[in-house]
């Protein structure tokens, strides 16, 4: 306890007196919290909740959206027996009655209300910890805008339990708590009756705002992203392009975007082609709103209507592709053709129409260009990808309704967790459905009435779940692939009217269904595809009056494909396990949407990531083919990086270099054994960009027929904000001479110096230079590695040997600390050499490690770690004294590397 007092005292002095004189742990240091693109007040609230023993929130305003975000954390606290309190108010009628109903659902939360007359407007958060408190006080209410978007100021302070400030805050909260009334169903009923009288409309929106809103909707104009897409289409046409493809996430206004472009082009005749008759009328009406004009200019061509002579014709592919219908048109009748859901264009019916007409311009639009067959949609549109609006970007631009994803554990059957082989009778058991019903109620939905979609794995499961939910008072109906289109349409109409609370389906609603009122999406099945996951999630993302957000509840069992969930939600297709794990470590925020997991669900996903082979050849081949289709050529490492696909280092770890990967992809590339070895070394050792020096020198040498002077290199390093000390330059040369490496590595890398230094001039190996000049494949692949490595180098602080938080191997550490040799195989815990002494710790020890070396290393806080020296060293041992004296004198740097578990040799700086 004395140590804690000292740490808190240092934190106060460092934060309020002298930050240079007093050293403090970050978690105790006073800190200003505000929202930035990479940091949010919500994140700090989450962290405080995870480490508290109890908490009290004193906030005037609360939104339903924030409660949905916090419920997974509160559910975890409930499992640990941790309770909390909230004191809030009905001040100004901000808090919707439904907010109070949601608060009552949280079993480990006590809530009290201060009446409007008290003018309660506080914003404070108190977290009790063992021996001290953390307090956040400032301008942030418990609302999504305050915790995620708005520019708010909040001060986080830590205080010992009997400190004056702590006492003052707690006493004030307790006084307010005693004055407040318990939240109850009776209080909510009374509040609902008076709610409209409490609300002051002029407080939240002025007449000017209302008039502006009406003016906005009287004339439809492109949003920012639509404007960018329209400019891109203009540029393509100016370049003489006849075809283009737009990729736009579901709900981002593809139809309006098409109408805006048709308005700009003003064609004599326009043809809109779609695969489903239900979409035609809505598409026609959208175009009318933008284009205006004579209603008779708009016609429909389908199985039920045939207005073939209309200026703006909206046709189903099924009708248009009939020989008699198609031949009744002249190939040049339409100067602008738009194909909706263009990813279906691989079908024969589309090809028939596609190659019959000769328009001046052909536009394809799709939300999902990825295909499970071999059809290349990009090739069909001459690789002219005009614009791309993916889900994450659309959410950040507020084009869609925000969602709050809640990943929770699935029901356990007699202590066994459901997996890919769970039997049907377990999936539809009364016990599981009772658990499901409780979770659906707990996490709730936005709006006055539930409009939920439930996705499950099997047709018979969908039928039974619908019956069970209906019997539980939640009117539900199943829709499967066996149901006719007419029946589906009637069910959807009834669903929109509120006749059904839930539609239970398998894969019927993956795409092409527009039900904007959906406010809850439930995943009761294993995720088999990140594409399908996004399609199903997208069913709820259209904006709708009275719907502020969509609740997505995912029941996570022991499924081997759980790793696909973070891939789908974050758009991270790197196949890099460390990248995926890092995205799970904190809840993700995308625009105003959030990704939240309970601890058990998160651990199940961690387990899936750890146990899955994300780099199986089939998966990599699929990623490769997708990118090749998009580019219309062989993808290089730089292409994978720029398009957010597979991490180039993942490929290199698996295949040594890109050439060997291309051979696996059956590409016709050729290198000599020597060239292959050179490419391997540069790829495996330099591609990561951890140090820019070797890459930059190689680039300079390959660009000249002579040499590069040391003076020129130093100028380039300064221009790239990289260190220029002689030790680093010597280390760089030892890498490029191969003298750093062990004999077996030298043989693998060609066994000849790549670069030599003579009279302060660097010279490139003549054999390498000749290969670079004479073999276009070698030149292409070498340039690609260097270009990609230089891009990756921007992620590292080149003015320092190591960047805090990045991951390194022991071999990397030897190189970056300027050691003359690779001593990685002889480093056990720590090694002092060349005025450095890196410390290597495995945090979670394996059970089979000998007890004599199973050291109890542990983090004491975010800034301090306890580490044990090798057995049987003592404080007066020569080895230990050298470390202590060197560190105290500043002559020996001691970077700390920690890896979580003893698996691979991947470690990270702290």
Q: What's the pLDDT at 548?
A: 94
Contact call for residues 285 and 292 (beta carbons, < 8 A): no
Mean pLDDT throughout 118-132?
89
Q: What's the pLDDT at 21?
A: 66
Kindly state the tokens that stand for 636.
């290089």
Closest CA to 247 of 239, 257, 259, 238: 257
pLDDT tens column, 143-195: 999 999 999 999 998 887 778 888 888 899 999 999 999 999 999 999 988 88
Mean pLDDT throughout 291-307?
89
Tell whether the torsion through CA atoms of 390, 394, 395 and 396 is positive or negative. Answer: positive
| Least confident range of 21-25, 82-86, 864-868 | 21-25
Closest CA to 180 of 110, 229, 123: 110
pLDDT at 205 over 50: no
Q: What's the pLDDT at 741?
A: 97
Alpha carbon 595 to its chain's center: 9
Helix (H) or strand (E) holding 478: strand 476-479
Mean pLDDT throughout 715-730?
97
Q: Given strand 761-764, what is the order of strands in its sheet?
A: 708-709, 761-764, 755-758
Separation between Cα atoms, residue 569 and residue 644, nearest integer Å: 14
Q: What's the pLDDT at 725?
A: 96
Q: What's the pLDDT at 904?
A: 40
**Residue whose structure tokens are 């084009």:** 399
Q: What's the pLDDT at 1?
A: 59
**Residue whose structure tokens are 């079908």:** 347
pLDDT at 638 over 90: yes
Cβ count within 10 A of residue 264: 12
Half-sphere exposure in the Cβ direction for 787 (13 Å, CA) = 13
Percentage of the chain with pLDDT > 90?
60
Question: Which residues fall within 8 angstroms of residue 645, CB to CB, at 6 or more apart?
Answer: 573, 574, 623, 626, 627, 635, 639
| Least confident range of 356-370, 575-589, 776-790, 896-910 | 896-910
3-state secondary structure of 3: helix
3-state secondary structure of 73: helix
Q: What's the pLDDT at 23?
A: 61
Q: Strand pairing of 550-556 and 403-409?
A: parallel
Kindly indicate the confidence band of residue 199, based on its pLDDT and cuts at 50, 70 and 90.
low
Contact call for residues 576 and 649 (beta carbons, < 8 A): yes
| Least confident range of 29-33, 237-241, 328-332, 656-660 | 29-33
Q: What's the pLDDT at 83?
A: 97
What mean pLDDT is reported for the chain?
A: 88
Kindly indicate the confidence band of residue 813, based on its pLDDT and cuts at 50, 70 and 90.
very high
3-state secondary structure of 682: helix
Separation between Cα atoms, residue 188 and residue 528, nearest integer Å: 43
Kindly indicate the confidence band of residue 25, based on its pLDDT and cuts at 50, 70 and 90.
low
3-state secondary structure of 673: helix
pLDDT at 906 over 50: no
Mean pLDDT throughout 848-860?
61
Separation between Cα atoms, residue 409 and residue 172, nearest integer Å: 39
Kindly state the tokens that stand for 265.
């082009």
Widest pairwise Cα distance in the chain: 98
Contact call for residues 99 and 64 (beta carbons, < 8 A): yes
Kindly indicate the confidence band of residue 328, based on its pLDDT and cuts at 50, 70 and 90.
very high
Q: What's the pLDDT at 531?
A: 80
Mean pLDDT throughout 289-303?
92
Which residues in 695-740 belong to E strands, given as ranges? 708-709
Q: What's the pLDDT at 211?
A: 36
Kindly state the tokens that stand for 762.
């660097």
Contact call for residues 337 and 380 (beta carbons, < 8 A): no
End-to-end, the C-alpha distance of the chain in Å comes to 26
The angle at the Cα of 638, spanning 632 to 643, to the nearest 5 degrees, equals 65
pLDDT at 213 over 50: no
Mean pLDDT throughout 613-625?
91
pLDDT at 586 over 90: no
DSSP string, 154-176: EEEEEEETT-HHHHHHHHHHHHH
pLDDT at 715 over 90: yes
Kindly indicate the confidence band of residue 859, based on its pLDDT and cuts at 50, 70 and 90.
confident
Mean pLDDT throughout 299-323?
91
Q: What's the pLDDT at 77?
A: 96
Q: What's the pLDDT at 862?
A: 64
Contact call for residues 637 and 658 (beta carbons, < 8 A): yes
Contact call for residues 695 and 789 (beta carbons, < 8 A): yes
pLDDT at 80 over 50: yes
Kindly state the tokens that stand for 236.
């393509």
Kindly state the tokens that stand for 813.
């550490």
| Least confident range of 179-183, 288-292, 393-397, 679-683 | 393-397
Kindly state the tokens that stand for 7.
């740490």
pLDDT tens column, 769-790: 999 999 999 999 999 999 999 9
| Between 901 and 113, the higher pLDDT residue | 113
Separation between Cα atoms, residue 39 and residue 586, nearest integer Å: 11
pLDDT at 212 over 80: no
Contact call for residues 78 and 112 (beta carbons, < 8 A): no
Q: What's the pLDDT at 721?
A: 96
Kindly indicate the confidence band of residue 237, based on its pLDDT and cuts at 50, 70 and 90.
very high
Instruction: Tell me the CA distances in angstroms from 774 to 718, 749, 770, 792, one per residue in order.
Output: 32, 20, 6, 28
Cβ count within 10 A of residue 774: 9
Contact call for residues 437 and 426 (beta carbons, < 8 A): no
pLDDT tens column, 449-496: 999 999 998 899 999 999 999 999 999 999 988 888 788 889 999 999
Q: What's the pLDDT at 890?
A: 80
Percentage of the chain with pLDDT > 70?
91
Contact call for residues 515 and 368 (beta carbons, < 8 A): no
3-state secondary structure of 726: helix
Cβ count within 10 A of residue 686: 25
pLDDT tens column, 528-577: 888 888 888 888 898 999 999 999 999 998 888 888 888 888 888 899 98
The pTM of the full predicted model, rounded to 2 decimals, is 0.85
């Amino acid at each position: 306890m004395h140590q804690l007092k000292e740490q808190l005292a240092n934190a106060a002095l460092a934060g309020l007196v002298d930050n240079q004189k007093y050293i403090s742990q970050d978690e105790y240091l006073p800190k200003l919290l505000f929202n930035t693109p990479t940091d949010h007040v919500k994140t700090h609230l989450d962290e405080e909740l995870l480490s508290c023993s109890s908490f009290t929130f004193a906030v005037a305003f609360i939104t339903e959206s924030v409660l949905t975000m916090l419920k997974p954390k509160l559910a975890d606290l409930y499992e640990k027996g941790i309770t909390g309190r909230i004191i809030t108010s009905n001040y100004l009628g901000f808090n919707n009655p439904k907010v109070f109903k949601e608060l009552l659902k949280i079993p480990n939360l006590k809530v009290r209300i201060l009446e409007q007359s008290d003018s309660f407007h506080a914003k404070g958060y108190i977290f009790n910890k063992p021996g001290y408190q953390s307090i956040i006080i400032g301008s942030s209410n418990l609302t999504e805008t305050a915790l995620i978007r708005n520019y708010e100021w909040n001060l986080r302070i830590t205080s010992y339990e009997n400190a004056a400030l702590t006492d003052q805050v707690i006493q004030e909260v307790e006084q307010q708590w005693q004055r407040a009334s318990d939240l109850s169903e009776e209080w909510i009923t009374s509040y609902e009756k008076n709610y409209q009288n409490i609300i002051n409309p002029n407080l939240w929106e002025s007449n000017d705002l209302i008039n502006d809103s009406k003016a906005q909707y009287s004339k439809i104009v492109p949003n920012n992203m639509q404007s960018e897409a329209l400019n891109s289409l203009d540029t393509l046409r100016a370049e003489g392009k006849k075809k283009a493809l737009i990729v736009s996430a579901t709900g981002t206004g593809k139809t309006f975007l098409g109408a805006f472009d048709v308005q700009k082009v003003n064609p004599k005749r326009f043809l809109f082609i779609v695969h489903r008759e239900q979409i035609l009328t809505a598409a026609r009406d959208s175009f009318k709103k933008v284009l205006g004009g004579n209603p008779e200019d708009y016609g429909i061509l389908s199985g039920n209507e045939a207005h073939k002579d209309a200026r703006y014709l909206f046709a189903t592919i099924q009708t248009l592709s009939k020989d008699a219908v198609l031949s009744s048109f002249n190939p040049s009748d339409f100067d602008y053709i738009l194909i909706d859901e263009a990813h279906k264009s691989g079908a024969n019916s589309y090809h028939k129409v596609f190659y019959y007409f000769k328009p001046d311009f052909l536009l394809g639009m799709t939300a999902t260009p990825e295909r499970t067959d071999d059809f290349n949609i990009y090739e069909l549109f001459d690789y002219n990808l005009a614009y791309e609006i993916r889900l994450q970007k659309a959410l950040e631009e507020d084009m869609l309704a925000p969602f709050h994803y809640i990943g929770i554990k699935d029901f356990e059957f007699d202590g066994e967790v459901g997996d890919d082989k769970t039997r049907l009778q377990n999936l539809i058991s009364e016990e599981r459905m009772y658990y499901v019903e409780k979770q659906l109620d707990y996490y709730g939905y936005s709006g006055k009435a539930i409009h939920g979609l439930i996705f499950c794995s099997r047709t018979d499961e969908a039928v039974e779940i619908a019956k069970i939910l209906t019997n539980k008072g939640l009117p539900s109906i199943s829709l499967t692939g066996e149901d006719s289109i007419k029946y589906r349409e009637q069910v959807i109409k009834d669903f929109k009217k509120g006749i059904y609370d839930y539609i239970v389906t398998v894969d019927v609603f993956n795409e092409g269904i527009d039900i904007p009122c959906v406010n809850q999406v439930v995943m009761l099945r294993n995720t088999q595809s990140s594409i399908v996951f996004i399609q199903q999630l997208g069913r709820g993302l259209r904006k709708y009056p009275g719907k502020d957000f969509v609740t997505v509840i995912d029941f996570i069992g022991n499924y081997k494909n759980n790793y696909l969930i973070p891939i789908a939600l974050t758009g991270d297709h790197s196949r890099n396990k460390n990248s995926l794990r890092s995205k799970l470590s904190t809840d993700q925020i995308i625009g105003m949407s959030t990704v939240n997991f309970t601890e058990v669900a998160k651990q199940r996903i961690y387990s899936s990531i750890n146990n899955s082979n994300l780099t199986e050849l089939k998966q990599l081949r699929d990623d490769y083919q997708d990118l090749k289709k998009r580019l219309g050529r062989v993808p290089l490492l730089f292409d994978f990086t720029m398009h957010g696909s597979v991490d180039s280092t993942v490929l290199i770890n698996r295949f040594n270099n890109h050439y060997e990967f291309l051979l696996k992809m059956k590409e016709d590339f050729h290198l000599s054994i020597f060239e292959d070895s050179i490419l391997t070394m540069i790829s495996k050792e330099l591609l990561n960009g951890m140090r820019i020096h070797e890459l930059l020198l190689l680039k300079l040498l390959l660009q000249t027929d002579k040499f590069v002077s040391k003076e020129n290199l130093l100028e380039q390093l300064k221009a790239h904000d990289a260190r220029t000390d002689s030790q680093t330059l010597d280390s760089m040369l030892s890498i490029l001479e191969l003298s750093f490496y062990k004999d077996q590595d030298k043989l693998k890398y060609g066994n000849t110096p790549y670069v030599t230094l003579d009279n302060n001039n660097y010279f490139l190996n003549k054999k390498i230079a000749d290969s670079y000049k004479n073999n276009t494949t070698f030149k292409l692949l070498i340039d690609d590695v260097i270009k990609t490595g230089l891009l990756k180098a921007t992620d590292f602080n080149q003015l320092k040997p190591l960047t805090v938080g990045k991951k390194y191997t022991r071999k990397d550490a030897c190189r970056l600390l300027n050691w003359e040799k690779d001593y990685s195989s002889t480093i056990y815990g720590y090694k002092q050499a060349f005025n450095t002494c890196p410390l290597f710790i495995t945090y979670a020890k394996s059970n089979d490690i000998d007890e004599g070396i199973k050291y109890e290393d542990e983090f004491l806080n975010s800034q301090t770690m306890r580490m044990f020296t090798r057995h049987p060293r003592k404080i007066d041992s020569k080895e230990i004294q050298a470390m202590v004296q060197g560190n105290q004198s500043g002559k020996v740097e001691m970077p700390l590397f920690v890896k979580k578990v003893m698996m691979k040799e991947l470690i990270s700086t702290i």
